[in-house]
Amino acid sequence: MFTDINNALNINTDFLRNPCLIGIGENGADCSFLIHHFISLYLKNGVTVVLISFKQALNHFNGVGAKIGCNLLKFKEQNRFGYVDGLRNLSQCVNNGIGNAAYSWTNCVNDVGHIDSMALMKEIIFHMSSITEKMQEPGAMTLIIDNITPLLDVGMTPTEVTKLIQYLKAHIENDIRGNFVVGCYSDKIDEEGSTLSKYIHHSADLFLEVKGLETGYCKDVHGQLLAHWPQGYLREKAVTKSWQYKLTDKTCALFAAGMSSAVL
């Protein structure tokens, strides 16, 4: 996990233990470092993580986790981490490759090849429950979806995806008192993707957006990180903050705009 991000967002034990929805938007710059950060953050603080990926393979997460000191294979052996390749299972079902998909995922696709959002929700909850049953003792749990926008590419409408998020949020916050982290594309070029991103932004207790630099590529500054806290979640009024950031294999440095060493 990245210390600068924790300090900037004031992430502490209260934050980790309070049920909430964290949205992560990708707009012109890769936001996957935030997904890796939250996976590591929760696991290292004793919270079980279930990762549903619609973007990356497990080997990718294992490789990045090893670089930042988070051994996902070890956590998986301890039944503290679960991974589901959602995109592979759904795409194989939709493309009539049902025999290659996990059997239960075939229930998420109807006879005409359309994805049923309620069935998909039940499938995701099933994976969370299967991890809970293996835990040696009850504990906190977080669901992370690395990027939910690809569900639009396999035929779901923004309304169906937002309904999926609503039901998952209600289940996680009310039934298991856990946290929900969901990533999405937040650029305005794609109308459906923009609609979905706006919904997540307005529904989230904390929305983080990773943006590219308006001036283009810079070796010392890789992009901008914007954080928005709405009124009511541990705050009396809505607050928005922004930083620039620079990534290395093991670190993420945050600094105020214009305060990087390249500028100074």
Give residues with Cβ within 8 angstroms of 166, minimum separation 6: 203
* Mean pLDDT across 217-232: 83
Q: What is the pLDDT of residues 88-111, one digit of tens each?
A: 887 777 665 444 445 567 778 777
Q: Which amino acid is at 216?
A: G
Confidence class of residue 139 from pLDDT cuts 50, 70 and 90? Answer: confident
Q: What pLDDT is stored for residue 114 in this prediction?
A: 79
| C-alpha torsion sign, points 153, 42, 125, 101 | positive
| C-alpha torsion sign, points 156, 160, 164, 169 | positive
Q: Is the pLDDT assigned to residue 51 strictly greater than 70?
A: yes
Could you give the domains of the chain? 3-255 (3.40.50.300)
Helix, strand or coil, per DSSP, at residue 67:
helix
What share of the chain has pLDDT > 90, as a percent? 49
Confidence class of residue 205 from pLDDT cuts 50, 70 and 90? Answer: very high
Q: What pLDDT is stored for residue 165 in this prediction?
A: 96
Residue among 238, 240, 244, 235 at smallest CA distance from 213: 244
Q: Is the pLDDT assigned to residue 222 strictly greater than 90?
A: no
Asked whether the beta carbons of 150 and 53 are under 8 A apart, the reply is no
Q: What pLDDT is stored for residue 98 in this prediction?
A: 47
